[in-house]
């Protein structure tokens, strides 16, 4: 009776029920946890794949260089003298082998081992750095592939991979440069805001401004009059809210000093010399 095989994909985020319909006694053991919870298995796989990948590539290119014949039926015929004869179509090709056919494989393995030992003995530094660099790169590559194929939602896993690589290898100099641009943009905005507030105060104090008409439209006329007289346009509550926000944003980057947010980050038309107004 021919056995049939069928591959079934199970959803990770949906409940799945499976049943076995058989008359034979059977047991089911789940052994995947022994590998999934073993960090040593993942470290060794990630490192060994990269270290031995070069040998597989070498074997591939060597096989490409070997001459190939047209496909034919090869029938091995052994004689008593230790020679191996291949019946190729209608012609008989005989090749003298060693005492046994497996000695050829032993000879090739011995030659490869001698070459590896000579390389390790003569070029120890190159062999060490090659093994270290290839192991590191292959470990990272295997880790990225495992993250990508760890979920059926490949868009999310691809986003995690891109975010991880960006956070790890994004140039810090470029980050500081962007941060410098943001600080320069903020300082320029603070200066322009201060100039605009000063021009507004001069216009409100000039005879061309209809001050009474403006005060009738305002909810807090006393605050407007105080602003025209030269006081700050910010109230005490607004200053406290802004300083709390600035402190929370700056706490992750550096330890703020006393009145640092007021002296550096506050957008105001005052010079900051008199702190009793706040």
pLDDT in tens, 57-73: 766 666 666 554 444 44
Domain boundaries in the chain?
72-122, 172-270
Query: Which pLDDT belongs to residue 274?
Result: 43
Mean pLDDT over residues 67-92, rounded? Answer: 42
Q: What is the pLDDT of residues 151-171, one digit of tens each?
A: 777 788 888 888 888 877 777
Mean pLDDT over residues 231-235, rounded? Answer: 77
Closest by alpha carbon to 142, among 169, 161, 156? 161
| Residue 116, pLDDT above cutoff 70 | yes
Under a CB-based contact definition with an 8 Å cutoff, are residues 205 and 211 in contact? no
Give the span between the Cα atoms of 244 and 250, in whole angstroms. 10
| Residue 246, pLDDT above cutoff 60 | yes
Query: Which pLDDT belongs to residue 146?
Result: 81
Between 217 and 270, the more confident residue is 217
Neighbours of 232 (CB within 10 A): 19
Contacts of residue 148, defined as CB under 8 A and 6 or more positions apart, other chains included, come to 154, 157, 158, 161
Closest by alpha carbon to 127, among 117, 112, 141, 114? 117
Please tell me the least confidently modeled range out of 11-20, 75-84, 142-151, 221-230: 75-84
Per-residue pLDDT band at 91 (split at 50, 70, 90): very low
| Residue 44, pLDDT above cutoff 70 | yes
Mean pLDDT over residues 238-261, rounded? Answer: 65
Neighbours of 150 (CB within 10 A): 12
Handedness of CA 205, 209, 212, 217 (dihedral sign): negative
Per-residue pLDDT band at 46 (split at 50, 70, 90): confident
Under a CB-based contact definition with an 8 Å cutoff, are residues 209 and 227 in contact? no
Give the span between the Cα atoms of 167 and 156, in whole angstroms. 16
Between 231 and 82, the more confident residue is 231
Under a CB-based contact definition with an 8 Å cutoff, are residues 221 and 215 in contact? yes
Mean pLDDT over residues 15-23, rounded? Answer: 78
Left if phi > 0, otherwise alpha if psi is -120 to 50, otherwise beta: which for 230? left
Whether the model pTM is above 0.85: no
Query: Which pLDDT belongs to residue 102?
Result: 53
Closest by alpha carbon to 179, among 253, 105, 278, 101? 253
Phi, psi of 85, deg, nearest 5:
-115, 135
């Amino acid at each position: 009776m021919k056995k049939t095989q069928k591959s079934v994909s199970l959803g990770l985020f949906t409940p799945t029920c499976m049943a076995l319909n058989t008359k034979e006694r059977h047991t089911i053991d789940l052994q995947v946890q022994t590998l999934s919870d073993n960090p040593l298995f993942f470290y060794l796989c990630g490192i060994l794949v990269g270290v031995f990948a070069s040998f597989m590539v070498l074997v591939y290119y060597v096989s490409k260089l070997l001459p190939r014949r047209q496909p034919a039926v090869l029938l091995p015929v052994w004689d008593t003298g230790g020679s191996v004869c291949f019946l190729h179509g209608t012609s008989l090709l005989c090749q003298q082998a060693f005492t046994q056919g497996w000695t050829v494989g032993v000879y090739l393995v011995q030659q490869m081992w001698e070459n590896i030992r000579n390389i390790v003995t003569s070029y120890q530094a190159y062999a060490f750095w090659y093994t270290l660099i290839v192991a590191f790169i292959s470990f990272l590559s295997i880790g990225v592939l495992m993250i990508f194929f760890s979920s059926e939602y490949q868009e999310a896993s691809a986003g995690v991979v891109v975010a991880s690589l960006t956070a790890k290898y994004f140039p810090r100099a470029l980050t500081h440069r962007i941060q410098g641009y943001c600080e320069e943009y903020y300082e320029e905005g603070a200066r322009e805001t201060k100039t605009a507030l000063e021009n507004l105060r001069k216009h409100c104090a000039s005879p061309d401004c209809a001050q009474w008409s403006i005060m009738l439209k305002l909810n807090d006329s006393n605050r407007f009059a105080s602003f025209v007289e030269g006081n700050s346009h910010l109230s005490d509550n607004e200053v406290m809210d802004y300083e709390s926000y600035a402190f929370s944003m700056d706490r992750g980057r550096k330890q703020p000093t006393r009145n640092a947010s007021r002296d550096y980050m506050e957008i105001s038309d005052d010079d900051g010399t008199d702190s009793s107004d706040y």
